[in-house]
Amino acid sequence: MKKILSLVTLLYSVFLTQGYIIDDPLPAPTVALYNDNDNVIELTTESIKQIGTDKSIWMVEFYKHWCGHCQRFVPTWRIVADSLKMYEPHIKVAAINCATQACEDYMIQGTPTIRIFNPRNIPYWSELPSDWSAQLYVTNAKSVLRRFYPEINMNSPYPVVVPVTTARPPVTTKRPSNTVKVTYESKPDKVHQDDIEKAIQYALTTEIPMKPHMHYPEMSALYKFLDSLIKNTPNLKEKMKNFLISLREWPQIMGFTSITGKQFKERVKELEEFYKPFSQTAEDFVYCKGSDPQFRGYPCSLWTLFHALTVNAESVVFQNHGMAVVNPVAEAIIGYVDNFFSCKDCARHFISAALTMIYPYSDKDTIFWLYTLHNEANRRLAGDTTEDPQFPKIQWPSSKNCPQCVTERYNYMTGRVERVIQFQIVVDYMKRIYGEENIEMNNLIDEQESLKESCLATIPITQREQCNKLMFP
C-alpha cells in the first residue's frame, strides 16, 4: 500500500507540476527559523507573491524570528510539513519571516499567523488559530485538499513521519547539557543608546506599519507612544526629536482620523529620508545582541526602551480631582504592547499580568511597576527553549550587582524565610542603570549631520527644508 501511495505521489509530482511553483528562484532569507533540511518552504518578499498564480494550496505561517511564541511553534509546523509532504505539489507548507521580509500586503495582526490560501486565489484565505496541535492543522489541510483535489487518496494515517536524517537548527533542539553557561553574576548591568534607538526604529518602521488600519484606539495609542518617546527618551538627538515631532504632527495636520499601516510606513520613510534620525545608530544590537540571531534583539531592546522611558520621565504632577489616573508613560507602554507588539502571546501575557496590578501613578511607582512585570516575564521564561543560553533569565538584578535590592526576613507566622524586595533601593538602582548619564553611547559624529541638526534646531518648523538645501546644495 505504501509503495502504491508513493508511486501515486511520484506520478503526480512528475506529470502534474505544470502551473505549480517548484523552485523558489530567490535566495532564502538570511535569518530564518527553518532551513533546507525542513519540508517547510521559507518564502521571501518576492516569492510569496507567486502564491496568487499557483495551483497549489499554500499553508503559510507568518512569523518573526525573535518572537518566542513563533520559536516554540517551529516543531508543530515541521510536523505539519512532514505530514503533508506526500501531497505536494497540491499542498505546500511554507513560512515567511515578517521581521526581514515585507508582509504588509497580508494584513497580519500579529505573529505567528497561520493561513491557508486557496489555489490561484490569493484573496481567499482562511485563518487558523496559532495554538492548534499539528494533527488539527493536518486534518484541516486534508479537508481543504479534498475540496480542491477530490481525486487524491487521503487515507494515509496521521502523522506521516518523514525520517529526518540531517541536523536541524538549534531552535527546536534541547539545549545541550555541555553548553557553557556564562553566569549572569559575572556581567555588570549596562545599557546602550543604540539598543534604545534600534527599538524605536524597529517599532516605527516594522511593527506599527503592520497594522492594516489604525482607527481611534490605535491612533490614541500611537500618539501616546510618540509623545512619550519625544518627552522621555534619554539622550534624544535633535534630528530624532524633529523626526518624531513631525511624525506626531502629521495625521493631525492632514486631518486624518484614521490611517493605514502602509500610509504610516510611507510617511516614516519620507521623514527618515529628510531627518536621517537613525544615521548614527549602530547596524546591530549592542547589549541586546544574542549569541544566535533568533535570541534577544528587538524584544530585549523594547524592554530597555520602556525602562529608560520610565526612568527618564519627569515627575508628573497629577491634578486628578479624585479620579483614578494612570501614569502617561505606563499608558504609552500598555498602549504600544496592546496595539502594536506583534508577538501576540507576549502582548497577551503582559496585559494580563498588568491587569493583576494596580496601575502606577507616580514616577517611582511606574519604574517599579515595569520592573515587576519584567521580572514576572523572566520567571515564566527562565529555562525556556527561547532563552539565550549565554543570558539566562534571572530575577533581576542579580544579588551580586545589587545585594541590597532583595533582602531576606524570617516570617514568624509562617515559619519561613521570605524574600523582601526593597522598593526604594530597586528604584534607585533602576535610576542608576537606565539614567541618561549612565547610558553608553558611541562617539560616532557625522559632521554634516550635526550641522544639519543645529540648523534644524535654530530655524522655525516651516523652514526645515532650507536645512536640507544648505547641507545638500
Ligand X SMILES: Cc1cc2nc3c(=O)[nH]c(=O)nc-3n(C[C@H](O)[C@H](O)[C@H](O)COP(=O)(O)OP(=O)(O)OC[C@H]3O[C@@H](n4cnc5c(N)ncnc54)[C@H](O)[C@@H]3O)c2cc1C
> Footprint of ligand X on this chain (CB under 6 A)?
68, 189, 288, 296, 299-300, 302-304, 307, 337, 345-346, 349-350, 371, 374-375, 377-378, 381, 386, 388, 391, 396
Complex with ligand X: residue 212 or 290, whichever CB lies closer: 290
Q: How far is the CB of 225 from ligand X (least distance, A)?
A: 13
Q: How far is the CB of 364 from ligand X (least distance, A)?
A: 14
Q: How far is the CB of 465 from ligand X (least distance, A)?
A: 37
For 472, the 3-state DSSP assignment is coil
Complex with ligand X: residue 116 or 308, whichever CB lies closer: 308
Complex with ligand X: residue 276 or 393, whichever CB lies closer: 393
DSSP class of residue 440 equals B
Q: Say how far apart CA 246 and CA 237 lie, in whole Å.
A: 14
Complex with ligand X: residue 78 or 349, whichever CB lies closer: 349
Q: Say how far apart CA 112 and CA 49 lie, in whole Å.
A: 19
Beta carbons of 288 and 303 less than 8 angstroms apart: no
Q: Say how far apart CA 413 and CA 388 lie, in whole Å.
A: 40
CB atoms within 10 A of CB 314: 9
Q: Say how far apart CA 378 and CA 349 lie, in whole Å.
A: 12
Complex with ligand X: residue 3 or 419, whichever CB lies closer: 419
Complex with ligand X: residue 393 or 452, whichever CB lies closer: 393
Q: How far is the CB of 50 from ligand X (least distance, A)?
A: 32
Q: Classify residue 237 by burial, with Cβ atoms within 10 Å: 0-12, 13-18, 19+.
A: buried
Measured in degrees and rounded to the nearest 5, phi and psi for residue 59 equal -105, 115
Q: Measuring CA to CA, how many Å separate 134 from each of 83, 141, 268, 385, 404? A: 9, 11, 39, 19, 48
Q: How far is the CB of 219 from ligand X (least distance, A)?
A: 21
* Cell numbers for 20: 505549480
Q: How far is the CB of 72 from ligand X (least distance, A)?
A: 7
Alpha-helical runs (H) found in 150-254: 193-202, 216-232, 238-254
Complex with ligand X: residue 279 or 372, whichever CB lies closer: 372
Q: How far is the CB of 126 from ligand X (least distance, A)?
A: 26
Rg over CA atoms, the chain:
25
Q: How far is the CB of 88 from ligand X (least distance, A)?
A: 32
Q: Measuring CA to CA, how many Å separate 470 from each of 114, 242, 448, 454, 460? A: 50, 17, 10, 12, 15
Residue listed under C-alpha cell 503533508: 84
Complex with ligand X: residue 65 or 374, whichever CB lies closer: 374
Complex with ligand X: residue 107 or 406, whichever CB lies closer: 406
DSSP class of residue 426 equals H
Q: How far is the CB of 399 from ligand X (least distance, A)?
A: 14
Q: How far is the CB of 309 from ligand X (least distance, A)?
A: 12
Q: Say how far apart CA 269 and CA 249 lie, in whole Å.
A: 15
Q: From 385, 376, 364, 369, select the one nearest 428 (Cα to Cα).
A: 364
Complex with ligand X: residue 60 or 300, whichever CB lies closer: 300
Residue number with the smallest Cβ distance to ligand X: 68
Q: From 160, 139, 163, 153, select the one nearest 8 (Cα to Cα).
A: 153
Identify the helix (H) or strand (E) that includes residue 57: strand 57-63
Q: Say how far apart CA 69 and CA 9 lie, in whole Å.
A: 34
